[in-house]
């Protein structure tokens, strides 16, 4: 008869489990970074390139001038946001902004064939073409050509140019 006597060291087992969990989490996070969908991946020169400083201004311009924006290319980074009544392939690519001292989401509706694979609040970079669609009225909808999962920027908020203009106008009217 063969008998083995060994003692379990629970600290070493716990440390090994944590290391394995970190390894798996790293693979899951960085292993999916290059997932792209290319409906039209040749978009490099954009008509609208939304950045932290011009995000709300360009969004307003696109919404106010839907007909002249149709067919133009757009590039932006934001997080995935959904409303309960969205079509299966609809998401909003949005950013946080401050309006009337409240945290709001500023974004644009996007039509993406594989939208159900995206997780709410996941950060993405998209390029696409602006189309005209219907969601509670006519609005611009980005037909996503390329989507890449990215890490959140250090500052997740964008400047609210419209709020800043309103504040400046109110200050000048009071003088």
pLDDT digits (tens, 9 = 90+) for 7-33: 667 677 777 667 777 776 666 666 644
Is the domain defined by 48-162 classed in CATH 2.40.50.140?
yes
Where residue 98 falls among pLDDT bands split at 50, 70, 90? confident
What mean pLDDT, rounded, does the chain reach? 82
Domain ranges of the chain: 48-162
Predicted structure pTM score: 0.69
pLDDT at site 174:
52
- CB contact set of 113 (below 8 Å; sequence gap of 6+): 37, 39, 89, 144
pLDDT at site 101: 82
63: confidence class by pLDDT, cuts 50, 70, 90? very high
The Cα–Cα gap between 132 and 41 comes to 21
Residue 172: pLDDT over 70: no
């Amino acid at each position: 008869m063969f008998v083995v006597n060994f003692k379990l060291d629970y600290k070493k087992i716990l440390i090994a489990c944590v290391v394995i969990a970190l390894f798996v989490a790293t693979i899951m996070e960085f292993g999916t970074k290059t997932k792209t969908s290319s409906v039209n991946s040749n978009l490099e020169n954009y008509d609208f390139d939304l950045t932290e400083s011009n995000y709300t201004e360009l969004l307003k311009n696109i919404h106010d001038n839907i007909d002249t924006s149709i067919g133009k290319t757009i590039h932006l980074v934001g997080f995935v946001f959904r409303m309960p009544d969205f079509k299966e392939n609809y998401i909003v690519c949005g950013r946080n902004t401050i309006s009337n001292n409240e945290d709001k989401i500023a974004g644009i509706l996007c039509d993406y064939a594989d939208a159900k694979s995206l997780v709410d609040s996941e950060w993405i970079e998209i390029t696409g073409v602006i189309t005209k669609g219907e969601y509670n009225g006519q609005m611009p909808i980005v037909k996503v050509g390329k989507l890449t999962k990215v890490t959140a920027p250090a500052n997740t908020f964008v400047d609210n140019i419209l709020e800043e203009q309103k504040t400046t106008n109110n200050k000048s009217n009071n003088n």
